[in-house]
Amino acid sequence: MTSPHTIVVTGASRGIGLELCRQALARGDRVVATTRRASPALAALQAAHPERCLALPLDLADAGAVERVGPALAALVDRVDLLVNNAGLYSTHASRWDPAATGIASADAAEFATVLTVNAVAPVLLLRACLPLLARSSRARVLNVSSLLGAVSAHDGPGDLAYAASKAALNIMTRALAAELAPQGIIVVAITPGWVRTDMGGPQATLSAGESVAGMLRVADALRPADSGRFVDYAGLDQPW
């Protein structure tokens, strides 16, 4: 995929989402940055690229708002070449990876509902809202940002109940959506960004947001129809389900 392209990024106010916007803009792409709340860093990107960095308020915990976002998107852009379902919620009890705080003792229905809505339901609803715009792209693709915590075959530790369940759900829906949308030429993959130094990943993580995002964009650029339905990391390597 060569620049310039139109990219929709969720969770764009900080971390991986903000870095996705920054790197996409630097290479000449047009970005629709969705976020529940604006941030000074995102506002600075908008000021630097007023024609190409377009903000769209969107609360992914509000499924109704996600379902209704299509017309607002269509008012901003004429097509979508890449949708990055990046926004994620680890827990309503902990903002950073903490298995001890996300096990059975703290599990409750409200947390499961919120985490599953943000991490698994909203990406599907947003993809559906974007379908008319994705259909106008000559090389439409979708990156569902996932995690190895959602890999059933690799997850053998405690905690992370709601988050792991939500990412496992996102993974299986990625497979199903890839099959369903293949006739329309839309490529759908799940991707893990690695362990990244963000608010969620924490300061001990091994990757900077810049390193992770550079890899993710390279993966997106190289995707072909045969790749649809894969679960890969930021280097394009297959990951366990």
Q: Please give the model's pTM, rounded to 2 decimal places.
A: 0.94
R_g of the chain computed on alpha carbons = 17
- The pLDDT of residue 195 is 76
Is 172 domain-assigned? Answer: yes
The tokens of 17 are what? 């989402």
Distances (CA, A) of 25 to 38, 53, 105: 17, 7, 44
Q: Does residue 1 carry a pLDDT above 80?
A: no
- The pLDDT of residue 185 is 98
Is 22 domain-assigned? Answer: yes
Q: What is the domain-level CATH number for residue 69?
A: 3.40.50.720
Q: Does residue 38 carry a pLDDT above 90?
A: no
Is 71 domain-assigned? Answer: yes
- The pLDDT of residue 2 is 54
Per-residue pLDDT reduced to its tens digit, 53-96: 999 999 999 999 999 999 999 999 999 999 999 999 988 877 66
DSSP secondary structure string for all residues of 65-77: HHHT-HHHHHHH-
Range of the domain at 81: 6-233
- The pLDDT of residue 95 is 67
E strand or H helix that includes residue 226: none
Q: Residue 24 and residue 47: Cα distance in Å, rounded?
A: 15
Q: Residue 26 and residue 40: Cα distance in Å, rounded?
A: 18
Is 35 domain-assigned? Answer: yes
Query: Which residues share a beta bridge with 191?
Result: 145, 232
Is 182 domain-assigned? Answer: yes
Active site (catalytic) residues: 146-147, 163, 167
User: In the chain, how many domains are there?
Assistant: 1
Is 116 domain-assigned? Answer: yes
Is 1 domain-assigned? Answer: no
Torsion of CA 90, 212, 60, 185, to 10 degrees: -130
- The pLDDT of residue 3 is 56
8 neighbors 80 (Cβ within 8 angstroms):
yes
> Within 13 Å and on the Cβ side, how many CA atoms surround 33?
32
Report the chain's mean pLDDT, rounded to a whole number: 93
Per-residue pLDDT reduced to its tens digit, 190-214: 999 987 777 777 777 778 889 999 9
Q: Residue 216 and residue 19: Cα distance in Å, rounded?
A: 11
**What proportion of the chain, given as a percentage, has pLDDT over 70?**
97
- The pLDDT of residue 158 is 84
Is 240 domain-assigned? Answer: no
Instruction: Cis check for the bond before 4: say yes or no (omega within 30 of 0).
Output: yes
Per-residue pLDDT reduced to its tens digit, 128-149: 999 999 999 999 999 999 999 9
The tokens of 143 are what? 């990156």
Q: Residue 122 and residue 238: Cα distance in Å, rounded?
A: 25
Average pLDDT, stretch 216-231? 98
Contact partners, residue 64, CB within 8 Å, separation at least 6: none
**What is the phi/psi pair of residue 10, to 5°?**
-95, 155
- In 3-state terms, what secondary structure has residue 207? strand
178 neighbors 188 (Cβ within 8 angstroms):
yes
The tokens of 187 are what? 């490529």
Average pLDDT, stretch 93-112? 82
Extended beta strands in the chain, E state? 6-9, 30-35, 53-57, 82-85, 141-145, 187-192, 231-233
